[in-house]
Amino acid sequence: RLLPQEDGVLYVDSDAVFFLSVEDLWNYFGQMNDQQLAVVFSDVEDEALTIYNEWEMPHYKRYGINAGVMLMNLTRMRNSGLDALLLSWMDKYHHKVLDFHDQDIINTVFHHHPEKVFHGPCKWNFVHLVCLSNISCRGETPALVHGTNETFSDPYRVPAYRAIGKAIQQYRLGTSLERGFIDVLEENLRSTKSSVCADKIQGFVVHWRRLARQLDIERGWSTTEAATATS
C-alpha cells in the first residue's frame, strides 16, 4: 500500500549482482497465472544444504523462499488482502525469534497458500549454498549472484564470492564490463584456492565474458578507459 499507483515491483537485495539483463527477470511476470501474486526463488534445492530441513517455522514446499529476490504483483496483493494475512501471522509468531525476519513470515504465508506464487529458476538467486552444492542448479549459468550472509565482503566464508564482491566494488560504472569487471573478477579468482564453488565461478566467467563483451559493443564502452581505471 506504500505504492498505490504501481501495478508491479521487483525487489532485490543490495547484495546482488546481475549478470543478465534485469528485463529478463522482469519478464517472469508474464509467466504467472491469474491467481499468482509473486515470483519467488529458493535458497538451495539440495536436501543436504537447505536451512529448512529442521526449521521450526512453516516454509514454502521443500526448500523455502529466499525473500531477497521477488517479483510482486502489487495490484493482486492489494486485492487479495495479503497485508492483513501477513500481519495476522506476525501476530501469531510475535513471541518467537524470527531469524530471517520478513522471510520467515513470507514463507509461513506461502506455506499455506503455495498456489499463490510462481517458483522461478535457481539461476536468478545464485546464493553461496547453491554454488557449494553438487546438485542444485546443475547446468545453469547464474543470471543473478546473491551474496547472502556477507559472502561478498567476508574474505574467509566463501572466497569465490568475495572475488565477485571485490570486482564489483572496483568496477567504475559506464566503463567496459569486460575489462573493468570480468578481467578483474578473473584475476581475483586466480588468487583464490580451488574449491567446488571457485571452480564453478571460473567456468561461468567464460559465458559472462561473452555477455559483457556484447554489452560493451552495444553501448560503445571503451575497453581502454576501463583498463586504465582499474590498473
pLDDT tens, position by position, 88-115: 766 776 666 566 677 888 888 888 899 9
Of 47-56, 77-86, 97-106, 151-160, which gets the smallest average pLDDT?
97-106
To the question of domain 8-123 being in CATH 3.90.550.10, the answer is yes
In the chain, the amino acid numbered 90 is M
Which pLDDT score is estimated for 177?
97
- 10 pLDDT more than 90: yes
**pLDDT tier at 224, thresholds 50, 70, 90:** low
User: What percent of the chain stands above pLDDT 90?
Assistant: 65
**Cα torsion 117, 119, 125, 129: sign:** positive
Shortest CA distance to 15 belongs to which of 67, 52, 64? 67
Calculate ∠ Cα 146-189-170, nearest 5°. Answer: 65
Specify the pTM. 0.88
Which pLDDT score is estimated for 81?
81
Give me the chain's average pLDDT, please: 89
8 A C-beta contact, residue 29 and residue 39: yes
Grid coordinates belonging to 65: 523462499
pLDDT tens, position by position, 12-47: 999 999 999 999 999 999 999 999 999 999 988 888
Q: How far apart are CA 162 and CA 110, in angstroms?
A: 32
**pLDDT tier at 53, thresholds 50, 70, 90:** confident
**pLDDT tier at 226, thresholds 50, 70, 90:** very low
Over residues 73-84, the mean pLDDT reads 87
Where is pLDDT greater, at 3 or 39?
39
pLDDT tens, position by position, 119-133: 999 999 999 999 999
Which pLDDT score is estimated for 229?
46
